[in-house]
Structure 1
């Protein structure tokens, strides 16, 4: 499946040029929002350019040179975007390190990428880097953001002339390497994906050109987005670049917790957001718990059903298979819009009408609900190796439950074994220091993703599994765990689910609980608070989780079904090394840590 391009391939320049071009064209335009002492402040295009230029001078004064790799270990915040564009201005390559990385992981990236300098957020990060710095003779500089590192850098570069910076910037070409982003390491040691300025420019410009209308709450308003995804991940990095290049007002929020995120959504009031399905699930479940606590769960569930049917009717209309919502459904929808849907939109800032989702699959019914509630979510799919999105649902014809069609100027091919192959200007140039892995993954320019999927008659892609994650039972049955896990996770009490059964007689699962949902469930049933060890033995709770497992089993054959499960007392976390920063399960690590629990699932 091929989709024609909507923008030409970049012929000159690099990512930082947009900062200087925008400031020259429209210096007073609000380019970013920056939170200072709890209050949001506007940053104009001219102010951002001046800050980028001053920081670029400081980096040169401190010895950072063209093509040097500089690591950034930090949460999502304004300073990261400032550092990215300052480093790109002088032709250096920012290399992200996840802020939750262990000393061993940090050591590997700093060594493998031949890092010459590192910027960390706070003292804990500095101590992590400091614990391995004696084994890194190339790394000679370490700066800490919360110890006024940027002010120091700016002060040290005051004597550098502007022209020196611009000479560096003019030397950057589209094929210059922009960054090395390390994979999450779900199946082994992280590999460094080398991405060029052209990869980012082509991806960002294609997304902006094709989806720009959905960036707005209504025609003619100022487009803005709040970035809360980790910039250390390619998805967050792509949002950053696309916002700057697309002249979308950009804000930053470092926390994915509802208590931190929802107040900033209300204050910043973005017109659209980009997130992983987990965020949309949490917002939905929180709204339902609130309705149940107020004794309105039946009207809420009815509103959900109406929203799903309304969106599904609209989907049929867009594909020409039905006329759309009928009069009775439209009346019901209008009623629930005032009672339920508007309140959900208000909780997300009030202006969001569109969103993009990636990182993992979103359940079709959830996507339909949000669309019916007035927030259309365009689900997409991509990898670090494809500079984020490789496919996405088009604005005018969204097919819920799929990850859409190829982005403009790219192709998707399904190999004989079902593997998804990608081609286009957004595909990476290879893995750093890994020629064998590069040769196995890049085949005549095509990226062999390792994911399994299918294209329908209209070219919409559905992800069905991952080659390396296919389980084969001792009876020879092949099972893709992803769809089963996603169905179990639909239950509001379930936080995570991992399906096991490789070389075992049958399929089983480990399940973790959503703490907020469980606390609400206990209150609504008049049960006392329980500790984790008590909860996992509660018969009523086990019955609830069993319902989730039974519902998941209805989608597969008996041989593929989950025969038994175990509820765990604690969730899997990044800090334990059991989740990637994009919240994917690290299967081997989980099975190693919970080996006794897995073995117990197969005891007679």
Structure 2
């Protein structure tokens, strides 16, 4: 059958796979699942409930919730009647909700829980706006009660509504401020995202119709949302993790073949593994670090000789097998996106039989521009993969990546001026700096907007520096600063677990984090780490001074985006004094 709209994927999945489990999540400690036919029945009934509530073509409905099947139900039901979903992060403020509600002219809201409901109500004060909830709450109408309005609905009216939805029809407005600025509404069509679904199909190596994926990145971000459409299209069962904290447990329960993630989470997994290695003793510790060092030397497309291959095979049998078990034992592919992945992580995981496939894209490109080919011959560590079909890339004179293709957005909602700034002659200006190699392998070198100039006139690209310095097991988070100053400096959040291990090894009594980062012997150790890693950079790029911080940056405290990228503007404002002190 022909798929011209995203919701056509439901009928396609029934026709081709008829899945017993299309979607699943945990309720009160038990996995609750929905088949392909359950999905269709619920989505159709919800579409008819929307029609009976005078929600139709062009109307905006907000979805604010953590990942759960209800999120998909509402999203797909809106698509079928030509209504436009406005997904929002549960973690943002009531003020942000208010701005988006008003800017998008949101008529109806679906919230996940009590906390989100309180913010949605605050943002809707003085405005008649219906709000429904996914959790059963006393102060809000439950989504199933809303759905009951469509129980005896007119299916012919629904089919008529569907017939007016075209490939070029707008299906969502995603508000993104990224790491800087006021939220802007990215308008994406069915065709934009459908292109991505078909373009990445050949990059997904897990068996179609017979695989499982664990989902934990926010569905309101286009990365996981397009991923979910790919899963539905390929008959891959989607299981939603209970929370970020339960990912490890859920991986062991579900034993998926794949999942999408961001580098920050892979860094945490790696650091946790290495921390456990430091806790070992004797021969076990020696074997662990022998295997780890083999992994750090790994080159997927290079034969390093029979002795290396023999050792790696042995390491996989006695050390790396435990890593694979911790991820459920069946992982065939992990996709990493949203920010740059440290090459050493890709090497180690590939060496351990855990393929990590980097990709690149933006909300404005639905999102995929390039993604890795998941085999030893075509993977390129340090690159964000090969360009996907029908997407063109050219590199501007200043190094900026320009993109053209069917995945590029219609524009920014109610902002023609900003649209004209980024869309010129059909080319989308990404603000990322990069290089093309071998014709279609893309390498990202930095963010144009994140580069800064020192007072000496030298340009600094902070991202490569930050990724390199985070290779130290003692460094958890780091930001490089120094705009208009005579040298770069850094704010560093230590990996306190690794610091405790170091102190134990050196017989340094550990009191509490804040006290430890002020001790001379700890500062000296960090200085040695910085000195070792500075060698990889030009003299003008090297970090001359640093400040250790006692509190981690997080989404909740505002320093990270929901995909765990640094919000540089926020960090600069919050730590202005600490940064200034580095230049005294």
C-alpha distance after superposition, 1:394-436 (max 9, x if no partner):
2340100111221111111100010001111111111111111
Instruction: Find the residue that maps to 2:143 and give its secondary structure.
Output: helix
**Is 1:551 aligned with 2:514?**
no
Q: How many residues align?
A: 576
**Is 1:327 aligned with 2:316?**
no
Structure 1: unaligned runs, 5 residues or longer: 1-9, 317-323
Q: How does 1:448-597 map to 2 (within 5 A)?
A: 448-525=429-506, 527-597=508-578
**Is 1:294 aligned with 2:294?**
no
Q: Quote the Cα distance in structure 2 between the aligned partners of 1:261 and 1:524.
A: 30
C-alpha distance after superposition, 1:59-79 (max 9, x if no partner):
223332222111111112222
1:72–1:368 Cα change, 3 Å: same
Alignment RMSD, CA only? 2.0
**Is 1:437 aligned with 2:418?**
yes
Partner of 1:351: 330
How far apart are 1:215 and its partner, in Å?
2.1
1:372–1:162 Cα change, 3 Å: same
Q: Quote the Cα distance in structure 1 between the aligned partners of 2:510 and 2:382.
A: 37
Structure 2: unaligned runs, 5 residues or longer: none
Contact 1:230/1:254 (8 A) holds in 2: no
How far apart are 1:474 and its partner, in Å?
1.2
1:375–1:594 Cα change, 3 Å: same
1:179–1:221 Cα change, 3 Å: closer
Q: Quote the Cα distance in structure 1 between the aligned partners of 2:32 and 2:112.
A: 21
**Is 1:211 aligned with 2:199?**
no
Contact 1:487/1:548 (8 A) holds in 2: no
1:254–1:418 Cα change, 3 Å: farther
Q: Which of 153, 158, 168 lines up with 2:161 in the alignment?
A: 168
Q: Which of 239, 248, 253 lines up with 1:267 in the alignment?
A: 253
Q: Which of 26, 31, 50 lines up with 1:35 in the alignment?
A: 26
Instruction: Find the residue that maps to 1:344 and give its secondary structure.
Output: helix
Residue range with higher mean Cα deviation, 393-402 or 487-496: 487-496
Report 1 or 2 for greater relative contact order, CA contacts < 8 Å, sequence distance ≥ 6: 1
Partner of 1:190: 183
Q: Quote the Cα distance in structure 1 between the aligned partners of 2:286 and 2:439.
A: 37
Instruction: Find the residue that maps to 2:106 and give its secondary structure.
Output: coil
Q: Which of 218, 239, 254 lines up with 2:227 in the alignment?
A: 239
How far apart are 1:500 and its partner, in Å?
0.8
Instruction: Find the residue that maps to 2:449 and give its secondary structure.
Output: helix
Contact 2:111/2:134 (8 A) holds in 1: yes
TM-score by length of 1: 0.91
Contact 2:492/2:547 (8 A) holds in 1: yes
Q: Quote the Cα distance in structure 2 between the aligned partners of 1:327 and 1:25.
A: 45
C-alpha distance after superposition, 1:94-134 (max 9, x if no partner):
11111110122111111111111111111111111221212
Contact 1:184/1:581 (8 A) holds in 2: no
C-alpha distance after superposition, 1:366-420 (max 9, x if no partner):
1111111001111111111111121112234010011122111111110001000
**Is 1:407 aligned with 2:388?**
yes
Contact 1:28/1:44 (8 A) holds in 2: yes
Q: Quote the Cα distance in structure 1 between the aligned partners of 2:43 and 2:177.
A: 29
C-alpha distance after superposition, 1:176-226 (max 9, x if no partner):
101111123422111111000001111011111x223x224xxx8822211
How far apart are 1:523 and its partner, in Å?
4.8
**Is 1:143 aligned with 2:132?**
yes
1:297–1:435 Cα change, 3 Å: farther
Q: Which of 167, 170, 178 lines up with 2:171 in the alignment?
A: 178
1:163–1:237 Cα change, 3 Å: same
Q: Quote the Cα distance in structure 1 between the aligned partners of 2:316 and 2:185.
A: 47
Q: Quote the Cα distance in structure 2 between the aligned partners of 1:524 and 1:204.
A: 50
Contact 2:10/2:232 (8 A) holds in 1: yes
Residue range with higher mean Cα deviation, 29-38 or 236-245: 29-38
Q: How does 1:382-397 map to 2 (within 5 A)?
A: 382-396=361-375, 397=378
Contact 1:74/1:121 (8 A) holds in 2: yes
Contact 2:333/2:374 (8 A) holds in 1: no
Q: Quote the Cα distance in structure 2 between the aligned partners of 1:126 and 1:527.
A: 48
Q: Quote the Cα distance in structure 1 between the aligned partners of 2:465 and 2:199.
A: 34
